[in-house]
Amino acid sequence: MQLDCNGKLVDLSGPQVMGVLNVTPDSFSDGGDFFAPEKAVERALQMQAEGAAIIDIGGESTRPGAAPVSLNDELQRVIPVIEALGPRLRVPVSIDTRKPGVMRAAIAAGAGLINDVNALQADGALEAAAQCGVPVCLMHMQGDPRTMQKDPRYDDVVSDVRAYLQQRAAACERAGIARERIVLDPGFGFGKTVEHNLQLLARLEDIVSLGFPVLAGLSRKSMIGKLLGTGVEERLPASIALAVLAVERGARLVRAHDVAATWQALQMVVAVENPSLRA
Ligand code: 7PM
């Protein structure tokens, strides 16, 4: 099983790490340190060396309560970084966006995958992704980033998220996105309480059973802070534990800020569960 990301291949026969490169001035995990293209390139090369199989670039903060970003601001943040990275990275870049205009420009600039927390629900997004011909990661979110953490409710969070992702995958296929190009993500923290997040992780196999590769984004998330009382910079051990639990339940991609530590942990899972895949 592999993803063809605009010519760069991602092998999914075992778990892989998607490294997070934020280019928002307000991004909580890097304080905007990587806003300058040269800095971003440096960090992306480091994540590649640490084992990242994909570098995820987002110019729109999806932080709970964050203000919307205009198309032009988002393009100005991400396109120069993608252009600079393409020729210097062996691994593909994914574009974390909800806007079809950013999808098209990012893929034209060399990005290899679309990561949409809105699962291509914006007007024109399905068409844009289908025409780009790259893999898409469809994430579940209840509500929108501004209000999603107010009072999230589900009948059964796992079956609700499963049904939503199945429906979005079907919409993609109808729009001409090949099955082989679809990745699903339960969207930890996006319109979910700690209990919802824990149930989704405990029963991640119910999402994996849809038959698509699953991505899990748990790194440094606030559920850890709520369970342990730790600040964002103190969440690595718990992030690693959650990544290992997700991969044990069948996740094939783990989105993480701390690439080296996450990659090393996943290699231990591989060594135990599937020694023939050892790096
Ligand atoms: C503030 C709060 C800033 C939360 C950033 C975040 C995911 C994602 C993000 C995820 C996929 C973060 C999030 N999370 N894309 N983008 N899956 N596919 O913690 O879980 O990085 S942004």
Per-residue pLDDT at 91 exceeds 60: yes
What is the number of H-type helices and E-type strands within the chain? 10, 10
209-228 tens-digit pLDDT: 999 999 999 999 999 999 99
CATH number of 2-277: 3.20.20.20
Active site residues: 221, 255
Residues with CB under 6 A from ligand 1: 20, 28, 61-63, 96, 115, 117, 137, 139, 185, 187-188, 215, 217, 221, 255
3-state helix, strand, coil in the chain (%, to 5): 45, 15, 40
Per-residue pLDDT at 65 exceeds 70: no
Residue whose CB lies within 8 A of the most ligand 1 atoms, among 56, 139, 149, 219, for a mutation test: 139
Per-residue pLDDT at 111 exceeds 50: yes
Kindly report which listed range (28-37, 82-91, 139-148, 149-158) carries the lowest average pLDDT score: 28-37
Tell me the backbone φ, ψ of residue 213, rounded to 5 degrees. Answer: -60, 140
Per-residue pLDDT at 50 exceeds 90: yes
Per-residue pLDDT at 63 exceeds 70: no
CA of 179 to the centre of ligand 1 (A): 24
Residue nearest to atom 12 of ligand 1 (CA): 221
Per-residue pLDDT at 28 exceeds 60: no
Mean pLDDT for the stretch of residues 42-71: 88
Residue type, 132: C
Mean pLDDT for the stretch of residues 95-116: 97
User: What is the per-residue pLDDT for 64?
Assistant: 65
Residue nearest to atom 14 of ligand 1 (CA): 217
Per-residue pLDDT at 45 exceeds 60: yes
From residue 240, give the alpha-carbon distance in Å to each of 82, 160, 245, 256.
Answer: 28, 27, 9, 9
Q: How would residue 265 be classed by pLDDT, with cut points 50, 70 and 90?
A: very high
Nearest-atom number in ligand 1 for the CA of 20 is 21
- Residue spans of the domains in the chain: they are 2-277
Residue nearest to atom 1 of ligand 1 (CA): 63
Residue 130, C-beta contacts closer than 8 angstroms, at least 6 positions apart: 172, 175, 176, 177
CA of 135 to the centre of ligand 1 (A): 18
pTM value is: 0.95
Nearest-atom number in ligand 1 for the CA of 29 is 3
Residue nearest to atom 4 of ligand 1 (CA): 63
Q: How would residue 25 be classed by pLDDT, with cut points 50, 70 and 90?
A: low
User: What is the per-residue pLDDT for 27?
Assistant: 45
